[in-house]
Amino acid sequence: MLRGTISYMTPTAKILSEKALPAFSTRWLLALPKLGVVLLLAALLALLWLLHLNEIEEERATLIKDVLWLEQNLRFHLDSDEEQLQQFAADMSNLATQKKTFRLRASHLVKNTPEIDQLMWLNPERKVIDALPSMTPPDAEIEAFGPPVTEKAFDTARRLGKQVYSEPFFLEKNRSFIETATPIFHEGHFIGMLVAVYPLDTMLANLVPWWFTEKYKVEIIDDNDILYATKTHVQGQSSQTYEIPFDPPGYGLKLRIGSYKSNDNPLQKLLTIAIIALAAGVFWSLWVVRDLMQKRSRAEEALRAEHAFRTAMEDSLTVGMRARDLKGRVIYVNPAFCKITGFSSQELVGSTPPMPYWAPEQIDESYAMHQAVLAGQAPVDGFEMTFMRKNGERFNALVYEAKLIDGNGVHTGWMASVLDVTERKRAEELARQQQEQLQFTSRLVTMGEMASTLAHELNQPLAAIASYNTGCLNLLERPDCTPQDIRPALEKVSIQAQRAGKIIRRVHDFVRKSEPKRAPCQLAEVVDDCLGFVESDARKRHVRIECAMPEMPPIPADRLMLEQVLLNLIRNAMEAMGNTPEIHRTLRIMIKLEDAELRVSVADQGCGIAPEIRDKLFTAFFTTKPEGMGVGLSICRSIIEFHRGRLWAEDNPNSATGTGTIFAFTLPLETA
C-alpha cells in the first residue's frame, strides 16, 4: 500500500540561529571525546587480550599436568607387566613343568592384561615352542618374531640376561608393534625366551582413559615424526601440543598430546560485543552531533532547496494528489488535482463533505465511499467515482487511497492519487465495440464461405416441397382422389418445410448482431447446431465427425460466441485434412468434465502445425491461408478469455497419420 508523508512550511520560513563557536574550538570539542573513547576502547581490548593470554597459559599448564599423569599411568602399567613377565620367566625355569606353566600363566596374563596381544615361548634358536592366543600349531614356525629389530632385542636380552624392549615395527595393515624379550635361565644356562607382543594402538585403547581423549589427542611418534598409533574422540586441529619421551620402550619414541580449544566463554564474547557496540554507539552519537552542528549552519539553504524541489515536483506531476485528515477534511491538494477538478487550492483546502467536486446526482454514493475510506476499507486496487469539474462537466476518476504517515510514523490521515480515466474508458469502449464488430464480421465471412453449401442444403428441401406439391396437384386432377391420398404427401411437405426453416433459423441466429451476454446454456445443443452447419461441408470433403459428449450441467456462456469458436475450429480442422487420405479423415470432438471446468477439444489428423509458427497462431492478422484474414483464431481466443477460459493448440499424439493438431479450450463451471 502506498504510504505518504507531508510537511507544511510557509514561503518565508525563518531560521533562528545562535552565535556559532569558532571552527577550531568546535573541532577540538568533537575530537576530545573521540580520543577518550579510543583510549578506553584500546584499554578494554588490551585487557581482553591479556585475559586471553592468561587463559592460554592456564590451558598449557593443565595440558602438561595431564600429560605427566598419562606418562606415569603408562609407565605404571608397563612396569607392572615387566614384573609379571620376569616372574613368569622365573617360573619357566623348572624344566619339568615348563609347558603346563606356560599355558596356565600365559592364558591368565593375556586375559588380565589387554595391552598384550600375544605371548610366545621361544627356544635358544628363536624357534617357537608355544604361543597364546594362537591357532597356529605349537610345532609350526611363527614368523611374527622375524623382523631384524626383534632379532636384535632377542640377542640383547640373551646377552644381558634381563628383559629388553624391541624397536617399534609395522606388520599387517600398517599396525605398529613393540615386543619385550625376557630370557629364561635354568641353573645359569639360557634355555629360552619369553616374548610379549604389544600393539601400540591396542596399548593406547586400553591404557588411555576415555575422558582423556575427550579433551586431547594422544599420538605415539618417533624423532622423524612417523606416526605409530593415535587415539582421540575429538575432530579438528590441535590448539596446543606437548611432547614427552615414551620410555620404556625408548628408541626415540615420544608421546605427543594435543589439546583442543574449548568452547569460548559466552560471557567473554558478550562482553567484547558489548564493548564494541558501546564504542560504535558513542562514535555514532558523536557523528550525529557533528552532523547536527553542520546542518544547523546550512538549515536555511536546505529549506530553500527543499521548497524549490517540492514546488518543481508538484508542478511536474500529472496525477492529482489529495490529502485528508482523520476527520475527512482536505488538508492538501497539488496543482494537478486543481487542474483536473478546475477548483483552486484555496477553494479545496479546508473543505469538508460534501466536497465541491462531488456530483450532486451521486452524492449518497460519494459519501458512502468517503466513510469507507475513513474506516480503512477502501479497495486496495482502487475504485472509480464520478467527479464534477467546476464548470459542471462530469468525468470518471480512478482513486487510490493510502494511509498518510507523518515523520514520527503516526497515522494522521489519508493520501489519495486521482487519475482522470474518462478518455481511457472511452478508448476501452471503442475497442470493445470494434472487437464486437470484428467478431460479427468474422461470422459474416464464415457464413459467406459456407453460402454455397447452405444453398445446396436449402435446395434439397425446396426441391422436395416442389415435387410433393406437383404430385398433390396431379392427384387432385383424378376423379377418384380422396383426402387420404393427399395426406402423406402434405405431411412430407411439412417435414421438408421445417427442415428448410431450421436451416434458415440457424443462419439468422448466427449472423444476427447482438451484445455479448453470458447466460446458462447447454453445450450439447451448441455442438449440435455447429454440426448442423458443417454436416454438408463434411460430406463434401469426405470427413467423418466423431463426437463424445457426457452428461454435463448448463454453463454460463454466450451461445453465439461459442458457436463461432467451435465452427471456426471445426472448419480449420477439415481444411487441415485436405491432403489426408480419405480413410484417415476423422475429426473428433471431445468434451471432458474436470474439477471445476469443461475441457472441449477438436482433434484432426491433418498436416499439423510447424513449431516456428505455433507461437504466432493466435496473433491478429497472422494466417497461413492464401486468402485468409488472420483474425479467426485471435477472435476465438478473445471469446474464450471473455468466458474466463483458456485456448491453446498441441500436437495430436493419437493421429493415425503421425501428424495432426488438437485445439482445446476450457470453460469454467461457475454460476452466471
217/22 Cα distance (integer angstroms) = 66
**Residues with Cβ within 8 Å of residue 351, at least 6 apart in sequence:** 329, 330
Indicate the average pLDDT of the chain: 77
Q: Which residue has the higher pLDDT, 252 or 238?
A: 252
pLDDT tens, position by position, 572-615: 888 888 888 888 899 999 998 888 888 999 999 988 887 777 77
16, pLDDT greater than 50: no
Dihedral of alpha carbons 120, 165, 92, 107, sign: negative
Q: Are residues 116 and 170 in the same domain?
A: yes
Q: Residue 352's pLDDT is what?
A: 85
- 494 found inside a domain: yes
Range of the domain at 491: 423-513
CATH number at residue 402: 3.30.450.20
- 16 found inside a domain: no
pLDDT tens, position by position, 185-200: 888 888 888 888 888 8
Q: Are residues 414 and 427 in the same domain?
A: no
Q: Are residues 199 and 89 in the same domain?
A: yes
Q: Which residue has the higher pLDDT, 264 or 300?
A: 300
- 23 found inside a domain: no
672, pLDDT greater than 50: no
Q: Which residue has the higher pLDDT, 670 or 576?
A: 576
Q: Are residues 618 and 506 in the same domain?
A: no
- The answer to whether the predicted template modeling score (pTM) of the entire model surpasses 0.85 is no
- 26 found inside a domain: no
Q: Are residues 80 and 158 in the same domain?
A: yes
Q: Are residues 210 and 335 in the same domain?
A: no
Residue where one domain finishes, among candidates 363, 385, 420: 420
Task: Answer whether 534's CB lies under 8 Å from 571's CB.
Answer: yes
- 289 found inside a domain: no
- 432 found inside a domain: yes
Q: What are the CA-CA distances from residue 422 to residues 12, 241, 384 (Å)? A: 39, 85, 10
pLDDT tens, position by position, 546-579: 998 888 888 888 777 788 788 888 988 888 888 8
- 4 found inside a domain: no
Q: Are residues 231 and 183 in the same domain?
A: yes
Closest C-alpha among 85, 74, 121 to residue 249: 74
As a whole number, mean pLDDT of residues 424-441 equals 67
pLDDT tens, position by position, 331-357: 888 888 888 888 887 888 888 888 888
Percent of the chain surpassing pLDDT 90: 3
444/512 Cα distance (integer angstroms) = 9
- 17 found inside a domain: no
The side-by-side arrangement of strands in the sheet containing 661-668 is 544-548, 586-593, 597-603, 661-668, 647-651
Q: Are residues 381 and 477 in the same domain?
A: no
CATH number at residue 569: 3.30.565.10
Q: Residue 590's pLDDT is what?
A: 92
pLDDT tens, position by position, 70-87: 888 888 888 888 888 888
Q: Are residues 79 and 179 in the same domain?
A: yes
Q: Are residues 142 and 82 in the same domain?
A: yes
Q: Residue 139's pLDDT is what?
A: 36
Q: Are residues 224 and 335 in the same domain?
A: no
Structural domain count of the chain = 4
Instruction: Mean pLDDT check: name the lowest of 17-31, 67-81, 183-197, 632-646.
Output: 17-31
Q: Residue 463's pLDDT is what?
A: 60
CATH number at residue 205: 3.30.450.350
